[in-house]
Amino acid sequence: MIKDIRFALSQAKSIILNAPTGMGKTDASLAASIPVAMEKDLTVIFLTPKTSQHRIVVDVLQGINRKFGYGIRYVDMVGKRSLCVNENVNGIDNDAFYLACNEAVKKGKCIFYKRARDKANITDGIAASASGGHLEMLKACSDNGLCAYEVSAELAKSARVIIADYAHILNPYTRAAFMKRISQNLEKCIVIWDEAHNIVEQASAYLSMGISIRGIRSAEEELAQIGKSIDLSYLEFVLNKVSEKIPEGSSECFVGKEDLPTEIVEGGKELAESLEEAGLEYVKEGKGKRTRLMGIARFLRAIDIGQSSVMIASKLRGNVTLSINNLYPDESLGILRQSYANVMMSGTFLPLSMHREMLMLEDAVSFDYASPFPKENRLCFVDMDVTSRFSERSAENYRKTAEEICRIKGSVNGNVAVFFPSFEYMKNVNRYLDGQKVYFQRKDMPGIELERLLNDLKEERDALLFAVMGGSLSEGVDYPNNIIKFVVIVGIPLPKPTLILNAKKEYIDRRFDGKGMEYIYTIPAIIRAMQAAGRAIRSEKDRAVILLMDKRYSWGSYKAAVNNFVNVSESRMKLEDLKEFFAGR
């Protein structure tokens, strides 16, 4: 893999890699990219879809420096809000934070920013803290009264490697400001994309947003609290009006720009400016740390949608929502062709032809590497007795799933990880558990809590982990020293059929020769399941059992997709045989 990456980079070619989880893709990509970057005076930007995955990259860079004495300078960059030490603004949420931060800086009210801009305050000790990752940088800057984001950005100007999130490069609303702040040019950067099977979906998410009647009413309450008289009743009227297009018996419909009044389409930006000012005033007066006003402003600025986005009106329990939904992120994916080269890697990048197409990198070289781990160390079975199909979900189904999990736990000497298709499904199954010690992933769990959960789990030998497929604990996370002995994949994480998903399918059908169902539904779901399944085997000594708890895994298209990643036994799992397996016999 290292040779392949180095050869591709020497030719300034992007490379797409599929390699099993635990094989060492992070190590290999950095070991190959850094020497090329040093030879050609380039910067390596290592991107992950989740901040929780930065720690692995930091550990690898520390190891490279120890082993080879390169003294590679690197910086772990996260969002500005996560590195803010100013208590007057760091609790403010999302868009309002950035406006509050910018205003404090412009008016000279942020002493932390001022001190960080004075390079004399960035001592060798503070600069050295960058080698420990963003949390150590945050602590060092907090102790010295410096803005950790500004210090990190300053150090990034001369760093050989910058660790960052997808949003820093993939989000068109933040990319330019980030690259300018760190004084980097993508043409002079090798960009490594970890868990790169997420790129298209994440890029679409950055271009999608919505407003609702409940959100508008909350915004009106915020305006009342600060004595502002911006009239939002017209927006509510517009949403109610477009909802009349929803057919009887349905909950959603498409909306065109022609269905919206010109005051909204053409005059929305002026209203957005007023709402942003009001939102900033709301948080500055201490009325709240989060404001709906900013979300409405962002929607109004984006309402002039392009050809690859659609607007949808939906109505659920009396609440009307109008959303802009990106079908395919052409404008964001164009950034991939601006860098010197891309290294794109995943443990679930099959079929490679699909990903080359979807990423618009048909000229990239691609490789699929076989697992170096002994096949006999991993067993995989399908449980034919249950399914998570929407039409068959019931109390009896959840109870049966819980009983099987308890039965497995009672037969395994070690931790068992159970990955669910959704938080709702996990909650329903949990109701029927009895007396088990369970570590739960919560929705929107902060990175520091996820790290604490993982550290606690490493000390356990007889616990359950409940998490969701596609979440922070199922992708890009190491479970070292075989701390997971058994992985249960509950159901297939297929998205619920909706108007937007059908629109995406039809768009991809037109764009990629009838492959919408495969590219939008089947393969992404199997990828999420296989990412979770691969968490247990992280070295050549690890032994683990995987149970695919859904009979559909034995069906034609699903079975074929799974077989790209793991060999599924044709026989039924017998728990009484597991002791011999874990004993290595």
Q: What is the pLDDT of residues 185-206, one digit of tens each?
A: 999 999 999 999 999 999 999 9
Residues 6+ apart with CB under 8 A from 485: 412, 413, 414, 415, 416, 536, 543, 544, 545, 582
Three-state DSSP class for residue 152: helix
Question: Which of 231, 170, 213, 220 is closest to 195 using CA atoms?
Answer: 170
Closest among 172, 549, 542, 189 to 375, alpha carbons compared: 542
Cα gap 147→111, rounded to integer Å: 9
Return the pLDDT at 585. 57
- More confident call, 102 vs 343: 343
What whole-number percentage of the chain has pLDDT above 90?
65
Question: Between 34 and 393, whose confidence is greater?
Answer: 34
Domains 209-326 and 375-582 share a fold: no
Q: Which of 36-40, 222-226, 356-360, 494-498 has the lowest mean pLDDT?
A: 494-498
Most confident of 90-94, 452-456, 573-577: 452-456
**Are 16 and 361 in contact, with CB atoms under 8 Å apart?**
yes
Most confident of 117-126, 453-462, 572-581: 117-126
Among candidates 344, 338, 348, which has minimal Cα distance to 364?
A: 344
> How is 48-100 classified by DSSP, letter by letter?
ESSGGGHHHHHHHHHHHHHHH-----EEE---GGGG---TTTTTS-HHHHHHH
* Torsion angles phi and psi, residue 164, rounded to 5: -150, 180
Q: What is the mean predicted confidence (pLDDT) over 219-226?
A: 94
**Residue 305 scores a pLDDT above 70:** no
| Phi, psi dihedral angles at 374 (to 5 degrees) | -55, 130
The answer to whether 181 touches 299, Cβ cutoff 8 Å, is no
Q: By three-state DSSP, how is residue 227 classified?
A: coil
Q: How far is CA 133 from CA 54, 59, 77, 152, in A?
A: 8, 9, 8, 10
Please identify, in words, the CATH class of the domain defined by 375-582: alpha beta
**Helix or strand (DSSP H, E) at 295:** helix 292-301
Element (H, E) at 233: helix 233-243
- For residue 216, the 8-state DSSP code is H
Read off the pLDDT of residues 539-569 as tens digits, 9 standing for 90 and up.
Answer: 888 889 999 999 999 988 888 888 888 889 8
pLDDT tens digits for range 161-181: 999 999 999 998 889 999 999
- Cα(397)–Cα(401) distance, rounded to whole angstroms? 6
- pLDDT of 546 reads 94
pLDDT tens-digit profile of 273-302?
Answer: 999 999 988 888 878 778 899 999 999 988
pLDDT at 382: 93
**Residue 47 CB contacts under 8 Å (≥ 6 apart), including other chains:** 164, 165, 166, 168, 169, 170, 191, 192, 193, 194
Closest by CA to 220, choosing from 167, 291, 281, 147, is: 291
Higher pLDDT, 578 or 333: 333
Q: What is the 3-state secondary structure (H, E, C) of 266-288?
A: CCHHHHHHHHHHHHHHHHHCCCC
Please state the rounded mean pLDDT for residues 97-105. Answer: 87
Strands 319-326 and 309-316: antiparallel
Architecture per CATH, 209-326: Orthogonal Bundle (1.10)
> How much is the average pLDDT of 231-257?
92
Q: Which residues contact 157 (CB under 8 A, 6 or more apart)?
A: 182, 183, 184
Task: List, as one string, the DSSP characters of 313-376.
Answer: EEEETTEEEEEEEES--HHHHGGGGTSSEEEEEES---SHHHHHHHTT-TTSEEEE----S-GG
How confident is residue 363, by pLDDT bands cut at 50, 70 and 90?
Answer: very high
3-state secondary structure of 232: coil
CB-based contact 269:261 (threshold 8 Å): no
Q: Is the pLDDT of residue 392 over 80?
A: yes
Q: What is the pLDDT of residue 190?
A: 98
Q: Partners of 161 in the beta sheet?
A: 44, 74
Torsion of CA 384, 385, 389, 395, to 10 degrees: -160
- Burial class from Cβ neighbours inside 10 Å (0-12, 13-18, 19+) for residue 399 reads middle
How much is the pLDDT for 431?
92
Q: For the purposes of burial, counting CB atoms within 10 Å of the CB of 386, is it exposed (0-12), middle (13-18) or buried (19 or more)? A: middle
Mean pLDDT within 16-28: 89
pLDDT, tens digit (0-9, with 9 covering 90-100), for 413-437 = 899 999 999 999 999 999 998 777 8
Give the pLDDT of residue 385: 87
- Asked whether the beta carbons of 225 and 231 are under 8 A apart, the reply is no
- Greatest alpha-carbon pair distance for the chain in Å reads 75
> Beta strand pairing status for 341-346 and 189-193?
parallel
Closest listed residue to residue 479, CA positions, set 497, 500, 463, 503: 463
Instruction: Give the CATH class of 2-90+109-205+330-368.
Output: alpha beta
Q: Which residues pair with 326 in a beta bridge?
A: 309
Q: What's the pLDDT tens digit per position in 524-540? A: 999 999 989 988 887 88
pLDDT of residue 345: 96
- What's the chain's average pLDDT? 91
Predicted confidence band of residue 369 (pLDDT cuts 50, 70, 90): very high
Give CA–CA dist 194/57, Å, rounded.
10
For the chain, what are the domain ranges?
2-90+109-205+330-368, 209-326, 375-582
Return the pLDDT at 540: 83
Q: What strand order describes the sheet that includes 252-255?
A: 209-212, 319-326, 309-316, 252-255
Task: Give the phi and the psi of residue 151 in degrees, each rounded to 5.
Answer: -65, -45
Residue 80 in contact with residue 94, Cβ under 8 Å? no
Residue range 331-350: mean pLDDT, rounded: 93
Instruction: Write 367-372 long-range contacts (CB < 8 A, 24+).
Output: 367/1, 367/4, 367/15, 367/16, 367/17, 367/18, 368/18, 368/19, 369/1, 369/17, 369/18, 369/19, 369/20, 369/23, 370/20, 371/20, 371/23, 372/20, 372/23, 372/540
Q: What is the pTM of this model?
A: 0.84
Residue at token pair 């001592």:
123
